[in-house]
Chains A and B, each alone.
Chain A
């Protein structure tokens, strides 16, 4: 996965800030969301991200899958992905 060219992500104390600079829209994310954003920046696939986070958060994989699907839908809806 990849962010759109105009999207810049920066770590903050509260998590991350995502700046879609073409439409000049700013999004904020807590530390859990920031983990997803970091994995996208690293170019991981959806499956790899789910696997990584399931291992890290030691949770039910299907709940994590749902959470991440929603998160991705939000990223897509806001034109943040390439």
Chain B
């Protein structure tokens, strides 16, 4: 019997060493954008969130999708939006996944999290709740997150921590908040936050429209990564400071070679190949999740996908087309 070295950490996330994402019988991770509606209007929103979309999956379709996730034994689900807490089935969906012991992360602007709601999160044992905080001051945060008040967002984080929830902060750098990165990380640690996550802003959706006003300069990014490196070292073992050093183009190059074992479902039930590309590889209204997984595997080899990816790599402004969906195999 030989088992030494059998438990190998996969060098590339979600891809077995010496193997491929296609070796898995089902996805390992499901990213689900529950809705398009939002209670605020961030200048950088890659989802261009705002109003409710009438083609959003209805309650029966939502329930059917949840059931397929459990049947396929998908271990980890991340719920996002729009603002997912505005979705009428949000609580039911979360309770269902937790009842089936699926690791669950929610990405939220935090504005609907009261003390009571935080206790509900605490009682269900979420993997984490990720709250978007885009500044160490109200001024910086509110300049980006139009109508999104900073103090209630910070209070939401405090309520979550008090309720024993693994609470994470996501920070998106722009010209006018990037200088507060270090201060926000220090603040997060004092608040008992589990981790702070950040990386370069993606030129998608409203961020593409507002690019000149938002995109930090090279010098600002250089300083940003220097601060992150220092903070990561100084908080090691006490708080996770995670930053993704690559931009969306580098990510795309990497994914072409190593697609991840994950699916991204948008509010109308269509399934995207990856956030920064417009391709759809399935539709929950037409296909089962198992069929979509097979289509997803096939899609990465589709010449339309590789040709588009090459074009984007040559001209990064084309990432702005990521929301102009293109269906593969109708």
> Which positions in A face B, CB cutoff 8 Å?
5-6, 8, 10, 12-15, 17-19, 21-22, 24-30, 32-33, 36, 53, 57, 59, 63-64, 67-68, 70-71, 74-75, 78
Contacts and interface: CB of A to CB of B under 8 A. Distances in A.
A78 B9 contact: yes
B127 A71 contact: no
Nearest to B127: A21
A32 B16 CA distance: 17
Contacts of B245: none
Interface in B57-90: 73, 75-76
Which of B3, B23, B25: most chain A Cβ within 10 A? B3
Contacts of B25: 12-13
A33 B6 contact: yes
A18 B25 CA distance: 14
Which of A24, A53, A71: most chain B Cβ within 10 A? A24
A32 B10 contact: no
B73 to A, nearest CB: 5
Interface of B: 1-4, 6-10, 13-17, 19, 23-26, 28, 73, 75-76, 101-103, 125, 127-128, 166
Contacts, number: 91
Which of B6, B17, B103, B166: most chain A Cβ within 10 A? B6
A8 B103 contact: yes
B128 A12 contact: no
Contact of A27 (B4, B10, B101, B103): B10
B24 to A, nearest CB: 6
A70 B19 CA distance: 23
Nearest to A14: B23
A11 to B, nearest CB: 8
A19 B166 contact: no
Nearest to B18: A28
B24 A17 contact: yes
B232 to A, nearest CB: 14
Given A22-B127, A59-B1, A33 B7 contact: yes
B2 A14 contact: no
25 contacts: A8-B75, A10-B26, A10-B73, A10-B75, A12-B23, A12-B24, A13-B25, A17-B24, A18-B7, A19-B76, A25-B10, A26-B16, A27-B8, A28-B8, A30-B3, A32-B3, A33-B3, A33-B6, A57-B1, A67-B3, A67-B4, A68-B3, A70-B4, A75-B7, A78-B7
B16 A71 contact: no
Contacts of A22: 103, 127-128, 166
Which of A5, A10, A15, A25: most chain B Cβ within 10 A? A10
